[in-house]
């Protein structure tokens, strides 16, 4: 008999959700990770600490905005050590909690790094020293992803940061360059800008957040244009050099030499140009597990690899690299191991960018519909027509629905505005439940709330929105 029925390698939100469910289903389970408690990149060095800092950034932005409402607080004094302690305590509380949850469920938590010996044996190099060998019936690889750093952006200097070191908040630099206008660049760039750094963003494509719908991004870009010192699109970094006075960066692009100075010096640089899968589990080659040319472990819709005893989930199996996708894949893998006939087949995986305003979408996007040549009806409700948005002095938001013109089913939802990340959950439910525009229109939403913008978008589809006069074209 094997030591455990299930061993999960990697204790991020994918891995620990899987291990906890396996234990709940009565399977003897081990969870292996180098950290002292479950949490992974998301809780220790990603989603959670960044949200703690973004909460403070939003507060600072609100206090500045309050001047327009006749309330002035003066210049904020920032105690960096205390701010770091707040963020670190959030992480400590949460990981302490997941540690306790593992214990109460009798999940054997092994602190160390796993190496595959064969398709049923894992050797763990223990964090405390020494080794432990675990035999298993099934393994779930949940080793996540690591920051991708292309050669021109590699510089061994503490002033060049990735998301992990940026979250350590070493100081508030006078000037900072963010390379990459994606999730991490915009979220962490916003934090530093709110704290007082002059932040410039360089993005190699023609727009921020490539992949997201432009009408939503435009609203965010407008505000980012006010809070950041500069945003340079269609521009890339070709070289970085460490100098005593800062990091000298050389740019390349259409506007370099005219609107953008070719060489500039920054106090700090944050490199956030994407993440790559972490399939580098030693010994994996001793199994039949297949890794594709991009570095993702190949799995089917039941999260099975080519090795019957081994499953894989989360960032290491493919995009989107999001914690909530990993958790659901992890739970699917465990249910399959437990003998249930299930597959990972979501209609909508929500994406949220926690900037100010927040940007969120779920299901089909307009960009995807255009690429696929698919005809969809689009109903938009501008937040300028929302009473609640006006009470927040945030008329800049937008809610949109993508609707199948034949069945009137909701295929996609997009939102930009404060709390978009919370509001999108209703869109996910609507898409997953096969709701149509009438369902959304007839569901009574509380007044006055931002959630009404979803209901009124459905009313817009029928040309009957109370607060937008836009008759339906016949």
Applying CB under 6 A, the span of 110-118, 183-191, 364-372, 461-469 interacting with ligand NAD comes to 183-191
Which residue, 352 or 460, is less far from ligand NAD as judged by CB?
A: 352
Size of the site for ligand NAD (CB under 6 A): 26
Interface with ligand NAD includes 181 (CB under 6 A)? yes
Interface with ligand NAD includes 232 (CB under 6 A)? no
Dihedral of alpha carbons 29, 35, 37, 38, sign: negative
Interface with ligand NAD includes 322 (CB under 6 A)? yes
Contact set for ligand NAD, span 234-263 (CB under 6 A): 236-237
Applying CB under 6 A, the span of 11-19, 272-280, 405-413, 449-457 interacting with ligand NAD comes to 272-280
CB 326 within 8 A of CB 349: no
Which residue, 29 or 235, is less far from ligand NAD as judged by CB?
A: 235
Residue from 34, 97, 274, 346 touching ligand NAD (CB under 6 A): that is 274
Cα torsion at 31, 34, 40, 43 (round to 10°)? 120
Catalytic sites, residue numbers: 447
Residues with Cβ < 8 Å from 77, sequence gap 6 or more? Answer: none
Here the tokens at position 147 are: 């920051």
Strand order in the sheet with 235-243: 235-243, 246-253, 263-266
CB of 70 to ligand NAD, least distance (A): 34
Here the tokens at position 328 are: 């659901």
Residue from 7, 352, 359, 364 touching ligand NAD (CB under 6 A): that is 352
Residues facing residue 131 across a β-bridge: 125
Interface with ligand NAD includes 206 (CB under 6 A)? no
CB of 360 to ligand NAD, least distance (A): 9
Interface with ligand NAD includes 220 (CB under 6 A)? no
User: Which of 385, 355, 392 lies closest to 69 in space, CA to CA?
Assistant: 392
Interface with ligand NAD includes 187 (CB under 6 A)? yes
User: Which of 32, 48, 57 lies closest to 113 in space, CA to CA?
Assistant: 32
Phi and psi at residue 58, to the nearest 5°:
-65, -35
What CA–CA distance (Å, rounded) separates 436 from 339? 34
Which residue, 105 or 248, is less far from ligand NAD as judged by CB?
A: 248
User: Which of 394, 413, 393 lies closest to 403 in space, CA to CA?
Assistant: 413
Residue nearest to ligand NAD (CB): 182
Dihedral of alpha carbons 410, 412, 417, 422, sign: positive
Interface with ligand NAD includes 269 (CB under 6 A)? no
Residue from 184, 217, 317, 458 touching ligand NAD (CB under 6 A): that is 184
Applying CB under 6 A, the span of 96-104, 271-279, 408-416, 446-454 interacting with ligand NAD comes to 271-279
CB of 134 to ligand NAD, least distance (A): 30
Interface with ligand NAD includes 312 (CB under 6 A)? no
CA 101 to each of CA 33, 34, 123: distance values in angstroms, whole numbers, following the listed order = 15, 18, 24
Applying CB under 6 A, the span of 254-262, 352-360, 377-385, 446-454 interacting with ligand NAD comes to 352-360
Q: Is the peptide bond before 312 cis (omega within 30 degrees of 0)?
A: no
Largest CA distance in the chain: 74
SS3 state of residue 398: strand
Applying CB under 6 A, the span of 101-109, 176-184, 242-250, 256-264 interacting with ligand NAD comes to 176-184
CB of 119 to ligand NAD, least distance (A): 30
């Amino acid at each position: 008999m094997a030591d455990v029925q299930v061993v999960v390698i990697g204790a991020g939100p994918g891995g620990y959700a899987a291990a906890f469910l396996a234990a709940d289903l009565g399977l003897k389970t081990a969870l292996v990770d180098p950290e002292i408690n479950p949490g992974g990149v998301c809780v220790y060095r990603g989603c959670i600490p960044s949200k703690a800092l973004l909460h403070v950034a939003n507060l600072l932005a609100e206090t500045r905005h309050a001047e327009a409402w006749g309330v002035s607080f003066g210049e904020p004094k920032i105690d960096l050590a205390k701010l770091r302690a707040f963020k670190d305590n959030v992480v400590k509380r949460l990981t302490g909690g997941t540690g306790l949850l593992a214990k109460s469920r009798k999940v054997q938590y092994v602190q160390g790094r796993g190496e595959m010996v064969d398709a049923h044996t894992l050797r763990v190099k223990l964090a405390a020293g020494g080794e432990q060998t675990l035999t298993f019936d099934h393994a779930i690889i949940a080793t996540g992803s690591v920051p991708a750093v292309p050669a021109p952006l590699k510089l061994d200097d503490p002033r060049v940061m990735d998301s992990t070191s940026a979250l350590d908040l070493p100081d508030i630099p006078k000037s900072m360059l963010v390379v990459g206008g994606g999730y991490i660049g915009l979220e962490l760039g916003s934090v530093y800008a709110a704290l007082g750094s002059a932040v410039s963003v360089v993005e190699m494509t023609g727009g921020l957040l490539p992949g997201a719908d432009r009408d939503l991004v435009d609203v965010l870009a407008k505000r980012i244009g006010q809070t950041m010192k500069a945003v340079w699109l269609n521009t890339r970094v070709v070289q970085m050099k460490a100098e005593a006075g800062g990091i000298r960066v050389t740019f390349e692009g259409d506007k370099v030499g005219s609107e953008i100075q070719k060489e500039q010096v920054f106090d700090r640089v944050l490199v956030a140009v994407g993440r790559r899968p972490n399939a580098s589990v030693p010994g994996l080659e001793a199994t039949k597990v297949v890794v594709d040319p991009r570095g993702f472990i190949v799995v089917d819709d039941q999260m099975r690899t080519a090795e019957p005893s081994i499953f894989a989930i989360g960032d290491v199996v493919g995009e989107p690299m999001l914690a909530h996708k990993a958790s659901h894949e992890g739970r699917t893998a465990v249910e399959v191991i437990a003998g249930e006939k299930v597959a990972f087949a979501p209609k909508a995986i929500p994406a949220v960018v926690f900037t100010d305003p927040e940007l969120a979408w779920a299901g089909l996007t307009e960009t995807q519909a255009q690429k696929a040549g698919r005809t969809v009806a689009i109903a938009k409700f501008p937040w300028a027509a929302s009473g609640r948005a006006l009470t927040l002095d945030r008329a800049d938001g937008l809610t949109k629905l993508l609707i199948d013109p034949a069945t009137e089913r909701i295929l996609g939802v997009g939102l930009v505005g404060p709390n978009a990340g919370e509001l999108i959950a209703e869109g996910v439910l609507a898409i997953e439940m096969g709701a149509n525009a009438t369902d959304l229109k007839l569901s009574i939403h509380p007044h006055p709330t931002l959630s009404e913008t979803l209901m009124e978008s459905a009313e817009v589809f029928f040309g009957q929105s109370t607060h937008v006069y836009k008759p339906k074209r016949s």
